[in-house]
Amino acid sequence: MPITRRTALKLLAASSALPLEPAARALASKPYQPTWDSLQHHTCPDWYRDAKFGIYFHWGLYSVPAFANEWYPHWMYLPGRPEYDHHVATYGPVSKFGYKDFAPSFTAEHWNPDAWVTLFKESGARYIGPVAEHADGFAMWNSRVNRWNAARMGPRRDVVGEMERAVRKQGLKFYCSFHHQWLWGWFTSPIADADIYDPRYADFYWAQKYVPAPPSKDGTPDAGGAFNYAHPDPAPSARFSEVWRDKVIEVVDRYHPDVIYFDSRVAIVPELYRQQMMAHYYNHVPDAVLTYKEEDFALGSGQIDIEAGQLTDKASFVWQTDDVLDWDSWGYTKTPNYKTAGRILHQLIDVVSKNGNLLLDVGPRPDGTIPDEIVARLRTIGAWLKINGEAIYGTRPAAQFGEGPTKIKAGSYVADHIHDFIAEDIRFTTSDRAFYVHVLGAPGKQVRVSTLNRDSALPGGPLRTAQMLGVAKPLHWEWTSGGLVIDMPETRPSDDAVVIKLT
């Protein structure tokens, strides 16, 4: 029968003193398991609602070839793909030089976690952390569950552990993301002697038999094979599912991340293992946040994440979008295509006005350095937030998120459908005593806010003062039949976006 979340957590608590993997196994032997009903009443903590902006990083073995994007380890085994051609030409056949062989070149020799956290904090991020394990199965912590990890090879450093200490030292919230459900079916190849099929590496690759994909409509074969996203055949084994769960529990028990993010495709893991993991996390980390995509967990059990996404209107729930700084890749590549800082700021403002958070991804080099182009953009974002942060952090959405001509399509990966915002696009946020008007561009001599009129309910009562953040002198304003009209100063602190504080 259904049990409460409190009862479920008590059942799990008894296992916490056991060695990690036996502890996880003990969960499966309990006569009562957590249920979605017992997990659907998790409340989003205020600290997360107030934080608004986080930074994480894709950094791993795929940073070494730095070719195309972080899907390189998947595509490098599939003839017909550019990644395969590049790999064979650069490193040799996949039977001789496989993905595992990138580990010695993932050196992190110049990595300074304290310096990274300082940079990310200066950029305005309030929660920070690594991809703990990407789809490639390489763990970034000192793991007993997964022998293929950064503490035993490559950098020979506990990346997750060192980041956790550096983040907490600077008073921020610690974040980890997990993508390792993708590992089921991630490595496959028509090349029979590819190293992924060597039994010595079976616990790294979890390689699956290659199944050719049916030809496309024009008759062209798909070099990727029949990669089944939602319903893999065969389905994940019990052993894979146990290891999937145990990896997360190990990170929870050792590093206590304040936020855990799950990439999509978690639904392929049987719900038993997902429920056990989630209950264990909530039981062991106070004020924890778990973000997930699509329908991978039960509605209400965590916070929805819309990858590289937008909403057309304000949400009634707290949500997140995770998005890239590089248009083409989540990890480091030698041919980056970085977004402007202004584009990121506009996205942050738009998302916050709709009750969301922005989690921004960056891609460091394998030696532990961060490209100058990324550093410059992060510092521009941080400089803007230093002036305008009071209109972002700790705010709540207004009755209406904003106004303006630019149309937004809801969903994931919709950026290509959105033109750049312009100065006529306006967004709103509120605090206890102020109403903030965000102008997404460089305004002219006046800004007209048609949404507001003399009878609009503003925090603190009738409008008395309008002031641009970063400008000392108050602004002249007046009510008109077309809304609130505000005169702009001759100089402004930014051409990317300005904020007018109404009190």
**Tens of pLDDT, residues 167-189:** 999 999 999 999 999 999 999 99
**Tens of pLDDT, residues 371-392:** 999 999 999 999 999 999 999 9
Interior CA angle at 375 toward 124 and 336, to 5°? 120
Q: Select from 2.60.40.1180, 3.20.20.70, 3.40.50.720, 2.60.120.470 the CATH code of 402-502.
A: 2.60.40.1180
Q: For the residues 330-340, what does the mean pLDDT come to?
A: 97
**Tens of pLDDT, residues 259-297:** 999 999 999 999 999 999 999 999 999 999 999 999 999
Q: Which CATH class for the 44-308+316-325+356-391 domain?
A: alpha beta
In the prediction, which pLDDT does 120 show?
98
In the prediction, which pLDDT does 420 show?
85
- Name beta bridge partners: 326: 338
Beta strands at 466-468 and 173-178: parallel, antiparallel or unpaired = unpaired
Q: pTM of whole model > 0.75? A: yes
Task: Enter the tokens of residue 464.
Answer: 């008395």
Please choose, from the candidates 450, 441, 442, the residue with its C-alpha nearest in 3D space to the C-alpha of residue 482.
450
How far from 467 is each of 112, 158, 438, 474, 499, CA to CA, in Å? 40, 48, 12, 5, 8
**Tens of pLDDT, residues 433-461:** 999 999 999 999 999 999 999 999 899 89
Please provide the average confidence, as pLDDT, over all residues in the chain: 92
Cα 380 to Cα 498: distance, rounded to the nearest angstrom: 14
Its sign, for the CA torsion 479, 482, 488, 494, is: positive
pLDDT over 90 at 160, yes or no: yes
In degrees and rounded to multiples of 5, residue 285 shows phi and psi of: -125, 110
Domain ranges of the chain: 5-37, 44-308+316-325+356-391, 402-502
Cα 123 to Cα 99: distance, rounded to the nearest angstrom: 34
Cα 501 to Cα 259: distance, rounded to the nearest angstrom: 31
- pLDDT tier, 29 (very low <50, low <70, confident <90, very high otherwise): low
Share above pLDDT 70 across residues of the chain, in percent, rounded to a whole number: 92
Cis amide bond preceding 234, omega within 30:
yes
pLDDT over 90 at 320, yes or no: yes
- Name beta bridge partners: 321: 358
**Do the two domains 44-308+316-325+356-391 and 402-502 of this chain adopt the same fold?**
no
**Tens of pLDDT, residues 75-131:** 999 999 999 999 999 999 999 999 999 999 999 999 999 999 999 999 999 999 999
Cα 494 to Cα 471: distance, rounded to the nearest angstrom: 11
**Tens of pLDDT, residues 210-228:** 998 887 777 776 777 778 8
In the prediction, which pLDDT does 216 show?
74
DSSP state, residue 350: H
